[in-house]
Structure 1
Amino acid sequence: MTDDAVIASLAKAVEAQPDDVPLRLHLAQLLVNAGRTDEAVTQIAAALQREPDNASARRLMTSALTPADPLAAYEEELSDIVPPRFTVPADERPEPVAGEDDRIFDVERPKVKLADVGGMVDVKKRLDLAFLAPLRNPELRGLYGKSLRGGLLLYGPPGCGKTFLARAVAGELEAKFLSVSLADVLDMWVGGTERNLHELFLTARRNAPCVVFLDEVDALALKRSKTTSTGMRTAINQLLAELDGMEGDNDGIFVLAATNAPWDVDPALQRPGRLDRTMLVLPPDAPARASILQYHLRERPIARIDLDALVAATEHWSGADLEHLCESAAEYAMHDSITSGTVRMMEQKDFTKALGELRPSTGPWLETARNVAMFANGDGQYDDLAAYLRRRKLL
C-alpha cells in the first residue's frame, strides 16, 4: 500500500473517531513526512483543541512549522568527511571578554607624531596652543586655570590629512585615540544611537588623556533644520550633552572633528566648550608636497626625478592625490618593465604620463567653497577660506 493510500485510510479513521488524539497525531506525522505541511498543521491544531497540554502534539507542531533544511540529512550522513556548516571549531573560538575591555569602541595608541605630518604649520600651532602645551606643562596650566577639555573642528578638501593629523596629535601626547564615524554609533533601534554616543564618551573618560576623533561629523551632526528625522535630532542632542560634560567630567578629553562641509554642521556644535575652534586644513603647500612625494617614493626605485617640477605641477593637489600620482607612475614603469623584459627605474617620463591623465580631486570642493566664501560668510566664519582663495586667485 502506498503512503497516499495509508494517509487516506487514516484520514477516514480520524473522521470516524475525531476524539482519538493519538490516531490524529499519527496521521499528522505521516502528512509531515509526505511534505503536506498545511494538512498536518490542521490535524495537530485539532488535537491540541482536545488536549492543549499534549507534549507530543506541541513538538509535532513545532516540527511542522519549522522549514526543513534540505542539506541537513546530507550533513549528518557526511559528517565524518565534511565539517558542519556555520560552526567554529572549539580551539578557534575567541576568548570571552569582560569588564572595561568588553566595549564597542577600539582604543588605540598611535605611533605617528606631528613631525610625520607634512606642512600644516598653522594647524600645528593651534593644536599646541589649545591642547599640547597645557598638557605638557601641568604647573602652568594650574596657574592660569587652563582646562584640558575642548575641541577643534578641522575642515577642508578631502584627502588633505585631517584623519592622519588627529592620529598624530594622539601619538604626540602618547594619549589614547578613539576614532568614530557615523557607522560606529548609528543604531536602527530607538535610543540605540544615544546609548552608543554615551558609551563612546564613557570609554574616553576611562582612558583620559584621550583624543576622540569624530570623522565626517556633518553626517553625525547635520543641521537640525535640514533633517526631518526625530532619531537624528535626539542623537545630536545627546552629542551636545556629552560635549558639555553633563554626563561626566570631560577633563583630559580633547575632541577633534573633521568634515568636508562645515556649512552643514549644526551651529550648536561650535559653541564655546564644544568644538569651539575651527581650523582650515588646506591642500599641501610646496614644501609639504615635496615632503609627501619623497615619503611615497622612499622605497621605490627612482632615477632622474625632477622633484621641483613635480611640486610645481601639483598645486591644489591633496595628499591623497599625490599618493595616487606616485602609484600611477609606478604602474607605468612596471608595465614597461614587463613588456620589455628589462627591469628599469621609475623616471620623470612616468610622472609626466601620470600628470597628463590625473586631475586633483580638490576641484569640486574648491568650487563649492568659493560659493560659500562669496555668499555665506556674513559672520566672517570663513575668512581664512576666503583669504586662501584670494591668494590662489580663485575668488
Structure 2
Amino acid sequence: MSSDPLIDSLTAALDARPDDLPLRLHLAGLLLDGGRGAEAIAHVGQALARDPGNAQAQALMQRALGAPVPDPSPPSAQRPAPDGPPAQRPAPDGPPAQRPAPDGPPADDPLAAYAQELADVVPPRFAPAGDEPEPVRGEADRVYDVESSSVRLADVGGMSAVKERLELAFLGPLRNPELRRMYGKSLRGGLMLYGPPGCGKTFLARAVAGEMGAKFLSLSIVDVLDMWVGNSERNLHELFQAARRNAPCVLFLDEIDALGHKRSQVSSSSMRTLGNQLLAELDGMEGDNEGVFVLAATNTPWDVDPALRRPGRLDRMVLVLPPDADARAAILEYHLRERPIANIDLRRVVAATEDFSGADLAHLCETAAEFAMADSVRTGEVRMIEQRDLERALKEVRPSTRPWLSTARNVAMFANEGGVYDDLVGYLKRRKLL
C-alpha cells in the first residue's frame, strides 16, 4: 500500500492526541477517500466509543460500510499485449475481458491467469548452481530471530502463583546480584510450564524476558527438524549458541513434548538422537549456559521424557490454569477496550465464562463484534457492541479447556508417581472434578 505523507502526518499527530475527535474523523475521511476502508472503520469505531451520538462519525461509518471494495486486480492487467492493443477493462454489465494467452493457462482459471501476469511483471529468480549454500555473514544474517520483549508481568492477567514461582526462580536472583553470589545461586535454570492450550504460556514467557530486560528466543520443532542426518542436531546446537551469545536470554522451547518425547516411546533413531542432543545442551556440555533461562511449555507433560525433568535441566514444573474470575475480567476489558461497546454487564459475562482460556475469551469478543457489525450492515445503522451480542456469542463459543481437563483427571488419578502433579490434583479437587 502506498504511503500518503498527509495521512502519515495526521496519524503521528493523532498518536500524540488520541482524544482529538475532529482530527480522528478528518483522518478517517481521508482514509476512506484513499480506499483504506479498514483503517477508517477502526478510527471511526474509536470515535463512536468516545462519543456515540456524533453525527459525523455515524455518517462516516455508514459510508465505510457501504463503500465499494477497491478492485484488487494487478496493474499488469492493463499492460499491452506483445503484438496487439492494450487490454481494456470490461464494462460493469459486459463480459470479462479475456487475456490472449495461446500457450498460457486457460482463460477460465483466474488464479492461473493472475500467476501468469505476475510472472510477466516479476521474472523468476533462480539460485546459483552449486552444492554449497552462501556463507553466513554476521549475526544479522542468521535465521534465528533474537527479540527484545516489551511485555511485562503486569500485563499478564492473574497467575499470581506462577508469577511468585518465576520471581523465586529467575527474577529475584537477577535483581539482587550480591545476594545471588552470597547464596551461590546460579543464573541458569529451567522451568516447564504446563496446562491447557490457550492459557498464556507463550505470553508469560515473553513477559519474563521483558521483566528481566533479557533477549527472547523462541524454538519450536519446525526450527530444528531437517531431512538430512545430523542437521537437526546441528540446528538445535546453533539455537542454543545464539541464546548463549545473547545472554541474559530467555530460551523458550514451545511444545517441548514434540522435541523431547519419551524416548521409550520413540521408534525413530533420529528423534532419539535429537532428544539426546537436547539433554546435552541443557546440561551445558556443548557450552556455558550461564545467563540462559530455559522456559519450556507443553499441554501434555506426561509425554515428556523424564530425563528432561532431572535437577539441573527442566527441574521445576508450574501449572498454568485457565484464568480465574479477576483474570477473565481483565482479559475481557483488554479485548473490548478498542471496540465501541455499550450496556455490557461484565460481571455477568465473567460468571458465564468459567473454564474459558484466554484465547477463548478473545474469540468470544471477536464473535460478538462480528454479530454487531453484521447487524449494522444489514440495517444500515451503526450500533455498539451490546450485552445481547456477547450472550449470542456465548451460545457459539465453548471452552476449549474441558477436553484437556478430562485427560488431566485420568493422569492425576493413575499416573501421579512421586507427586509430580500434586498441583493439578489440588486444582481438580477444588473444582470437585476429582
Change (3 A) 1:83 1:345: closer
Output the amino acid matched with 1:200: L
Deviations 1:309-358, CA, capped at 9 Å, x for gaps: 11110011000000000001101111111111110111100011011122
Who is 1:299 aligned against? Answer: 338
SS of equivalent residue, structure 1 residue 208 = coil
AA aligned to 2:168 is L
Residue number in structure 2 paired with 1:104: 143
**What is the alpha-carbon distance in structure 2 between the residues aligned to residue 104 and residue 324 of structure 1?**
32
Q: Distance in 2 between matches of 1:378 and 1:273?
A: 20
Task: Choose which of 198, 201, 210 in structure 1 pairs with 2:237.
Answer: 198
1:275-314 Cα distance to aligned partner (Å, 9 max, x none): 0100000000000000000000000001111110111100
Residues 1:86 and 2:124 are matched in the alignment: yes
- Per-residue CA deviations over 1:66-97 (Å, capped at 9, x if unaligned) read xxxx99xxxxxxxxx94563139xxxxxx996
User: Alignment partner for residue 302 of structure 2, among 263, 279, 298?
Assistant: 263
Of residues 355, 377, 382, the one that matches 2:421 is 382
Q: Where does residue 223 of structure 2 map in the other structure?
A: 184
Structure 1 range deviating more: 272-281 or 373-382: 373-382
SS in 2 for 1:257: strand
| Change in CA separation of 1:297 and 1:128 when aligned onto 2, cut-off 3 Å | same
Written as runs of structure 1 = structure 2, the 5 A alignment for 1:126-275 is 126-275=165-314
**What is the CA distance between 1:173 and its match in structure 2?**
1.0
Residue segments in structure 2 that go unaligned for 5+ positions in a row: 1-102, 105-118, 127-133
Shift in CA distance, 341/125, structure 1 to aligned 2, threshold 3 Å: same
Structure 2 matches for 1:315-354, cutoff 5 A? 315-354=354-393
Residue 101 of structure 1: how far off its partner (Å):
2.6
Q: Distance in 2 between matches of 1:141 and 1:272?
A: 19
1:312 and 2:351 correspond = yes
Partner AA of 1:86 in structure 2: P
Query: 1:21-60 residue pairs with structure 2 within 5 A?
Result: none
Say which SS state the counterpart of residue 218 (structure 1) adopts: helix
Deviations 1:97-151 (A, max 9, x none): 6123332311000111111000110110010000101011111111111001000
Question: Which residue of structure 1 aligns with residue 402 of structure 2?
Answer: 363
- Whole-Å separation in 1 of the counterparts to 2:164 and 2:121: 60
User: In 1, distance between residues paired with 2:275 and 2:135?
Assistant: 33
Whichever residue aligns with residue 342 of structure 2, its letter is A
Q: Distance in 1 between matches of 2:430 and 2:320?
A: 15
Q: Name the SS of the counterpart of 1:147 in structure 2.
A: coil
Letter in 2 for 1:154: L
Q: Which amino acid aligns with 1:340?
A: T
Give the letter aligned to residue 293 of structure 2: F
**Structure 2 residue 329 is the aligned partner of structure 1 residue 290:** yes
Q: Name whichever of 173-182 and 102-111 sits farther off.
A: 102-111
Name structure 1 gaps, 5 residues minimum.
1-69, 72-80, 89-94
Looking at structure 2, the residues matched to 97 and 263 of structure 1 have their Cα atoms a distance apart, in angstroms, of: 39
Describe the SS at the equivalent of 1:142.
helix
Residue 379 of structure 1, CA deviation: 1.6
Question: Radius of gyration: which is bigger?
Answer: 1
Using the size of structure 2 for normalisation, the TM-score is: 0.70
Aligned to 2:160: 121
CA separation in 1, counterparts of 2:217 and 2:191?
A: 15
Q: Give the aligned length.
A: 311
Q: Residues 5-48 of structure 1, C-alpha deviation per residue, up to 9 Å, x if partnerless?
A: xxxxxxxxxxxxxxxxxxxxxxxxxxxxxxxxxxxxxxxxxxxx
CA distance in 2 between counterparts of 1:199 and 1:256 reads 17
Counterpart-to-counterpart distance in 1, 2:198 and 2:157: 13
1:183-211 Cα distance to aligned partner (Å, 9 max, x none): 00111111111101110111111000000
Matched letter for residue 294 of structure 1: E
Distance 1:84 1:119, change over 3 A: closer
User: What SS does structure 2 have at the residue aligned with 1:213?
Assistant: strand
Aligned-pair identity in percent equals 73
**For 1:202-248, what per-residue CA distance to the aligned partner results, in whole angstroms no more than 9, with x for missing partners?**
11110000000000000000000111000000100000000000011
Q: Find the aligned partners of 1:293 and 1:248 in 2 and give their Cα distance.
A: 44
Aligned amino acid, residue 123 of structure 2: R
The 2-side partners of 1:284 and 1:382 are apart by 19
Q: Which structure 1 residue ranges, 4+ long, deviate > 6 Å from structure 2?
A: none
The residue type paired with residue 138 of structure 1 is P
SS in structure 2 at match of 1:332 = helix
Q: Report the Cα distance in structure 1 between the residues aligned to 2:392 and 2:263, rounded to whole angstroms.
A: 47
**Counterparts in 2 of 1:337 and 1:84: CA distance versus 1, 3 Å:** closer
